[in-house]
Structures are given as C-alpha cells and as structure tokens.
C-alpha cells in the first residue's frame, strides 16, 4: 500500500490521537452516566461510519474493497472498537475517567511484550528497564485500597487490561494486514463493522435504547464530539499513523492521554487525583519513555528499517 509520509499530516494526526483521544475519556464518562455502554459505542461508531462513507462518496472516493480487505477491516473493527473501546466504555461506569486513561498508558509495554512473544523481536536493555518500571507503575496504580474497594472497580480495571491486549494485538495486526489503501475508507469500514457488532452485543445484553431527544444536553454534546472528532478525525488519524510510522510510536499517545484525562476528570467531574496515582503516572510514563526513547538500536526491521529506539 502507498504511504503518505507528509510531515504536516503526521503532526496533525499525532495531535488528534494525543489531545482529542485524551478528552474522550471524559466525554464517554459523561455519556455513560445516562446511556447503556454498548448502545453508546454502537451509535457513535455506526453514525461516524455512515458519515465517513457519505463524505467519501461526495468527494468521489471509491468505496469498493476486496473480500479480504473487508474481513481484515472487520477483525480490526472488533479488536479496536467492539471490544477494545466498547468494554472500556462499560468499565467507565465503575472506574474514574482519569484512572482508566492512566491504566491504558501501559499500552506501549503491552505492544512491546506482544512483539517479543508473537513476532520474536528481541527486547533490549532500555526496554527491559521500561517494562520493569511499567509493572511497578501498574502495581502502584491498582494497589490503592481507597480505589479498588469501590464496587465494580476491580473488575473494571481487569477488563480495561483485557482491552489493552485487544488494542495491542490490533496494532500489530493492522500494521501488516491487507486493508483499504485509503485511510478514510479504511476507518469507515472499521467503524461500521465494529458498530454493528456493538449493536448485536447491546441487544444480546438486553440494553434499553432511547432516542437522542430523551438525552440531556451534556450527553448530546458529548456524543456529537465523540462522533465527529473522537471517531472520524482521531480514528482516521490513528489508522493513518499505523501505516506510516511504527505501532509502538503510535502507542506513545498514552504519554499525553492520561494527563489530559486526569485534568479534565478532576476539573469537570471532581474526580480524585491521589498522590499514589501521581507517583504511578510518573513511574509508568517513565517506563514508556524508556521503551520509546531514540537510541541507535533497531528493535525490529520487518515493517520499517527506520524504527530506532533503545
């Protein structure tokens, strides 16, 4: 597939996955207080997918893809959206938005470990240090009795970890899968397939659906921002970056996401930021830095010989 290595597009795409996605934790937290989680996610992604196809058709883009590309898009849609996002939204019913973002900041560690066990890539010394720091950071995060003693928090944290596994594997899968060459169309198919699977999950779990006219103004606004910016803009940027830079570099969005999510959760929802959470954040993000710091040692060369970290 052709890669569009435009520096300006890459910078804007990173801004999208850094800042916009950092705010989606707050927006999902607001919406899930009124709406069933799988219904929320299903509506968000299906509407976003339809809008993408409408815009693409208006711009004269071809929507046709091969059978293999559709299957791969469906797999990616499940890994990223149906499970990877839908279950996080469910977990936000029990876990603070900033806390969830902080836990997900360990994603680069998960990607690195998966690359080691799935693809046989060697883990260098700096990365080993990063993994150790990451494990310590996660322990500090989840060992806070005042947080895990709350009802549903423990299972919520466990399911978020499972979502990280799904996102991590999805990142490796997308980096080499045969997908639509147009990143916008690629995003649309993942949104539609992921949203349909979320719809099926919502029906299977017996969630009660409601019309947007019945939602509060804050939920309506949150859903609008989630659809336009959190889904169409940021997820298109995410897919673009996965095909132009390396998976672990894309995962560095977790440097910024938890900081934004923690601040917004504290400012708008009065979520508590404990001293131990701050220490855990510093240790975790330091571990992520060790994994992604630029050194003249190539971690892998199968997809791009330019990837030099540790």
180 occurs within a structural domain: yes
292 occurs within a structural domain: yes
pLDDT of residue 236: 87
Pick the range with the lowest mean pLDDT from 43-52, 78-87, 118-127, 129-138: 118-127
Residue 248 reports pLDDT greater than 70: no
pLDDT of residue 116: 87
Question: How many angstroms separate the Cα of 246 from the Cα of each of 8, 15, 189, 303?
Answer: 17, 16, 22, 8
18 occurs within a structural domain: yes
pLDDT of residue 279: 93
pLDDT band at 155 (very low <50, low <70, confident <90, very high): very high
pLDDT band at 238 (very low <50, low <70, confident <90, very high): confident
pLDDT tens-digit series, residues 196-207: 999 999 999 999
The DSSP call for residue 124 is P
Supply angle C-alpha 286, 291, 292, rounded to 5: 95
2 occurs within a structural domain: no
pLDDT band at 151 (very low <50, low <70, confident <90, very high): confident
Residue 301 reports pLDDT greater than 50: no
Distance CA 161, CA 11 (A): 28
pLDDT band at 294 (very low <50, low <70, confident <90, very high): low
Contact criterion met (CB below 8 Å) for 219 and 30: yes
pLDDT tens-digit series, residues 165-202: 999 999 899 988 999 988 889 999 999 999 999 999 99
Mean pLDDT confidence for 38-54: 96
Distance CA 293, CA 11 (A): 18
1 occurs within a structural domain: no
Using DSSP, state whether 309 is helix, strand or coil: strand
pLDDT of residue 123: 79
Q: 77 lies in which domain range?
A: 7-309
- Give 168's strand partners: none
Maximal CA-CA distance, the chain: 56
Average per-residue pLDDT for the chain: 87
Contact criterion met (CB below 8 Å) for 188 and 64: no
**Backbone angle region of 124, left / alpha / beta, with phi > 0 → left and psi within -120 to 50 → alpha:** beta
Indicate the number of domains in the chain: 1
Mean pLDDT confidence for 224-242: 90
Share of the chain above pLDDT 70, in %: 90
Distance CA 244, CA 221 (A): 32
Share of the chain above pLDDT 90, in %: 53
pLDDT of residue 295: 52
């Amino acid at each position: 597939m052709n890669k569009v290595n435009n520096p300006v597009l890459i910078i804007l795409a990173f801004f999208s996955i850094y800042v916009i996605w950092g705010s989606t934790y707050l927006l999902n937290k607001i919406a899930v207080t009124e709406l069933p989680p799988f219904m929320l996610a299903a509506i968000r992604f299906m509407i976003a997918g339809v809008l993408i196809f409408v815009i693409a058709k208006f711009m004269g883009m071809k929507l046709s893809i091969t059978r293999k590309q559709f299957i791969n898009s469906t797999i990616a849609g499940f890994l990223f959206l149906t499970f990877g996002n839908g279950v996080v939204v469910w977990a936000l019913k029990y876990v603070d938005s900033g806390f969830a973002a902080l836990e997900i900041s360990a994603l680069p560690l998960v990607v690195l470990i998966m690359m080691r066990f799935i693809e046989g890539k060697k883990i260098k010394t700096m990365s080993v240090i990063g993994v150790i720091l990451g494990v310590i950071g996660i322990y500090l995060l989840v060992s806070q009795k005042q947080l895990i003693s709350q009802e549903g928090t423990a299972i919520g944290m466990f399911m978020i970890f499972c979502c990280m596994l799904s996102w991590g594997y999805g990142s490796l899968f997308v980096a080499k899968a045969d997908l639509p060459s147009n990143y916008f169309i690629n995003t649309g198919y993942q949104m539609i397939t992921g949203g349909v699977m979320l719809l099926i999950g919502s029906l299977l779990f017996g969630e009660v659906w409601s019309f947007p006219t019945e939602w509060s103004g804050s939920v309506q606004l949150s859903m609008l921002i989630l659809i336009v910016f959190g889904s169409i803009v940021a997820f298109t940027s995410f897919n673009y970056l996965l095909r132009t830079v390396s998976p672990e570099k894309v995962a560095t969005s977790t440097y910024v996401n938890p900081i934004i999510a923690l601040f917004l959760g504290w400012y708008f929802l009065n979520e508590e930021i404990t001293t131990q959470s701050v220490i855990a954040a510093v240790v975790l993000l330091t571990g992520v830095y060790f994994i992604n710091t630029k050194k003249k040692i190539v971690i892998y060369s199968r997809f791009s010989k330019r990837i030099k970290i540790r």
